[in-house]
Amino acid sequence: MEIINRRQRMMSVARKLRREENRTIGFVPTMGALHSGHLSLIHEARAMCDVVVVSVFVNPAQFGPAEDFSSYPRDLTRDAALLAEYNVDYVFAPTVEEIYPSGFSTYVTVEGLSNQLEGASRPEHFRGVTTIVAILLSVVKPDFAFFGQKDAQQAILIKRMVRDLAFSAEIVVPPIVREESGLAMSSRNNYLNDDQRKAAAVLNRALSKAREAYEEGEHSAARLIEIVRVTIGKEPLARMDYVSVNDAETLEKLEKIDDRPALVSLAVFIGSTRLIDNVVLGKATKHDVAGAKA
């Protein structure tokens, strides 16, 4: 496994793999602090592609001024050891200056989809995400790029950006990986103490109740939202930020779920840690199985 810090080097390695060796590249972008969710993406990439590249870069452009950029967990030595165990071929771990050189002034925004849900609570967040993903896709030029379903809105935006700007990568979004309690794997779970970690299982519990109600015939968004709110309200350590029912592709807000897949997504504070989770209803794929372990 080679760790690459320079984008020129990453570009020339990737070019050689593609052109001279005719090998398919699977790319998993991460901000490090790797957990089983990332490892399942790597596992999927390993199964689908000849070469696996993982980036580790805590992207300042996607953190708001009051967010946790400086305290975000960073441990490249631990991450690299895990990645070597998973037979990753290349780790791209650039510095901030390497990605955003002095004078950097080009940003990518997916209009419309970036300001709602997570974007309403975190202005500029998605501009930062789509900008870094555009840069990384241009550097690595993978055949397939893998993103987690926990960040459902991010995956939707990236698919739209890739389509609109004609990136050649195909975007793959495997299902959410969960702890035994149902808590979705996230680097931010590291901020929770034991009691908070137990309390955080309420996110998946609330979504599972909404899914059960949907399966029993409840298709009104307002009533599904109420089920989620009531369940979250019963957990004293939890504070609701938002819950919403949207079209799973266009993110249009829905009043009723009918023939198109719907994304039920939420953000909840457990103490000062903000966690997100979601379930897709109305689509018979492995993606909407809340509680699935990949």
Candidates 4, 10, 17, 31; binder of ligand PAF (CB under 6 A) is 31
> Which of the following is catalytic: 38, 43, 125, 287?
38
Short-list 239, 227, 217, CA closest to 264: 227
Phi-psi region of 251 (alpha: psi -120 to 50; beta: other; left: phi over 0): left
Q: Does 151 bind ligand PAF (CB under 6 A)?
A: yes
Cα 269 to Cα 257: distance, rounded to the nearest angstrom: 27
Per the annotation, the verdict on 38 as an active-site residue is: yes
Going through 136-180 in order, the beta strands assigned E by DSSP cover 144-146, 170-172
CB of 151 to ligand PAF, least distance (A): 5
Cα 35 to Cα 111: distance, rounded to the nearest angstrom: 31
Going through 137-225 in order, the beta strands assigned E by DSSP cover 144-146, 170-172
Q: Does 30 bind ligand PAF (CB under 6 A)?
A: yes
* Site residues (CB under 6 A) for ligand PAF, limited to 47-106: 59, 62
CB of 200 to ligand PAF, least distance (A): 19
CB of 59 to ligand PAF, least distance (A): 4
Identity of the residue, 151 or 277, whose beta carbon is nearer to ligand PAF in the bound complex: 151
Helix axes 125-140 and 152-164, enclosed angle (nearest 10): 50
Site mask, ligand PAF, residues 197-216, x = CB under 6 A?
--------------------
CB of 132 to ligand PAF, least distance (A): 5
Q: Are 61 and 100 in contact (CB under 8 A)?
A: yes
Cα 170 to Cα 163: distance, rounded to the nearest angstrom: 9
Task: Kindly report the number of other CB atoms within 10 A of residue 95's CB atom.
Answer: 10
Site mask, ligand PAF, residues 95-134, x = CB under 6 A?
----------------------------------x--xx-
Short-list 182, 184, 155, CA closest to 170: 155
CB of 96 to ligand PAF, least distance (A): 12
Site mask, ligand PAF, residues 170-189, x = CB under 6 A?
--------------------
Q: Are 69 and 32 in contact (CB under 8 A)?
A: no
Identity of the residue, 99 or 251, whose beta carbon is nearer to ligand PAF in the bound complex: 99
Could you list the active site residues?
Answer: 38
Residues that bind ligand PAF (CB under 6 A): 29-31, 59, 62, 129, 132-133, 151, 154
